[in-house]
């Protein structure tokens, strides 16, 4: 039986907290920000956490990096 491979795209986009929640960068922060309001840009700062229903899939895709 071969080893489970880590999904590299998931590894680049998500990190797990100590409690197992998945942190991610918020969408819409890379370009085209001149048309956004300051309030919208301010709320897109930092990282967000995913919903609990998706956490199991992220942990499975991360493989050995999930612990």
Residue 43 domain flag: yes
pLDDT digits (tens, 9 = 90+) for 35-55: 999 999 999 999 999 888 888
Torsion-angle region of 39 (φ positive above 0: left; ψ -120 to 50: alpha; else: beta): alpha
Q: Which residues make Cβ contacts (< 8 Å) with residue 59, sequence separation at least 6? A: 16, 20, 22, 66
Domain extent, residue 26, equals 8-66
Beta strands in 6-63 (DSSP E): 14-16, 22-25, 47-49
What CATH number is associated with residue 47? 4.10.410.60
The answer to the question of residue 2 being in a domain is no
Task: For residue 3, tell me if it sits in a domain.
Answer: no
Q: pLDDT (tens digit, 9 = 90+) per residue, 4-40?
A: 899 999 999 999 888 888 999 998 888 998 999 999 9
Q: What is the number of structural domains in the chain?
A: 1
Q: Detail the DSSP E strand segments found in 1-67.
A: 14-16, 22-25, 47-49
- Would 1 be classed as within a structural domain? no
The residue ranking higher by pLDDT, 66 or 60, is 60
pTM: 0.72
């Amino acid at each position: 039986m071969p080893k489970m491979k880590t999904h590299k795209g998931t590894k680049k986009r998500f990190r797990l907290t100590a409690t197992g929640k998945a942190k991610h960068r918020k969408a819409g922060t890379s370009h085209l920000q001149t048309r956004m309001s300051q309030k919208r840009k301010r709320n897109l700062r930092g990282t967000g956490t995913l919903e609990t229903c998706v956490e199991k899939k992220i942990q499975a895709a991360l493989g050995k990096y999930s612990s």
